[in-house]
Structure 1
């Protein structure tokens, strides 16, 4: 998980969210079933496009390239369930992009007193750290712990994918270390640095290779 900068609110939300929210809350107050045509109005092409852009096409939690493995889910940071935070269904700052597995694992779980790490509003690396392909909470950090455990940031498929990325970059580093030609060495160095940037998958784990090898 890495820090994400929120982009300006999509026009479709800015122009319609208050009206949609009034309609939705009215249905809930009257004990009516909320029409899906209303409750899913956040799932607009413009909204998803900007969410993908700001998250660099990655899941906001596990850093997988979402479209490579599944359809993206628009994640509600505070759950939109009618007994949770339905008034935030169309709130831009409550929306993110997640892979189906992280979204389903998180589900409607949320505790205002112990919220999950939110990469839009805080630096995840103050609560989580990587060790090889694993993500762990900082010692004594309850929010990091509940985030890692509930969303299952160390599920088997993630460990395997992170390890693949780490090994790919290790091979580049091996070539870099053995290379004698300065020009080629600098090209390899630039490539390695490029491969651990925040726009790449699992950058929280892979960038550790740079600090360990000091390149």
Structure 2
């Protein structure tokens, strides 16, 4: 999980979100149950420009686990504050409540919500203040006992086995590059290692698990 800057509201939401929200809330006020609201209304936020904006904003990575998605996993538009909960119905089309998520995190999170210690919002909260890794196991844990960090880990199952295994591979690959860089004797060898390191240092779109990568780079004095 990493801090990102939310981009400008997509045109479809800028133009229509207020009217869509009014239509939804009018139906609810008339006694229609949320589960009975037509999907054709509830899913209006699934516009191409919304998808493109979220995909770009999160560099094609899940906002929670930072897995690259859209290749071996389905892309989901996630409502951080679950739209199915009564107190958040009005946020169904709210741009600030929409995020890019992988299928596993999205399904695990479901409609979970903690009013006291809510899940982190990566466009508002800096995850590095709440989360950290045990580099040995590559499991994520609350930083300094952060309760919001704990909520985030539990609600999206950020220590599932497949995810931990993938992090270990990234850790080992990065460590190998760093050790080669530090042992390089010639300018040519050092330059080759620097090229390999650059995507990690720049937090490239091709690099997953930014929080873990940054922690390892700091460990070796490279950040």
Q: TM-score range by the shorter chain?
A: over 0.9
Aligned to 2:7: 7
Preserved contact between residue 114 and residue 142 of structure 1 (Cα < 8 Å): yes
Preserved contact between residue 114 and residue 151 of structure 2 (Cα < 8 Å): no
Describe how 1:101-120 pairs up with structure 2 within 5 A.
101-120=104-123
Describe how 1:13-92 pairs up with structure 2 within 5 A.
13-32=13-32, 33-92=36-95
Could you tell me which of 202, 205, 212 is aligned with 1:205?
212
**CA deviation profile, 1:94-146 (whole Å, cap 9, x unmatched):** 00101111111111111332211111101011111122222110233111111
* Residue 181 of structure 2 corresponds to residue 181 of structure 1: no
Preserved contact between residue 21 and residue 90 of structure 1 (Cα < 8 Å): yes
TM-score, reference length from structure 2: 0.91
Count of matched residue positions in the alignment of Structure 1 and Structure 2: 215
Distance change in 2, residues 1:205/1:29 (3 Å): same
What are structure 2's unaligned runs of at least 5 residues?
Answer: none
Describe how 1:126-205 pairs up with structure 2 within 5 A.
126-132=129-135, 133-198=138-203, 199=205, 200-205=207-212
TM-score, reference length from structure 1: 0.94
State the superposition RMSD in angstroms.
Answer: 1.5
**CA deviation profile, 1:68-99 (whole Å, cap 9, x unmatched):** 32111001011101524111000000001011
**CA deviation profile, 1:129-182 (whole Å, cap 9, x unmatched):** 122222110233111111112211111011011111111212222322332211
Q: Which is further off, 17-26 or 81-90?
A: 81-90
What are structure 1's unaligned runs of at least 5 residues?
Answer: none
Aligned to 1:67, the other structure's residue is in SS state: coil
Q: Distance in 2 between matches of 1:131 and 1:114?
A: 22
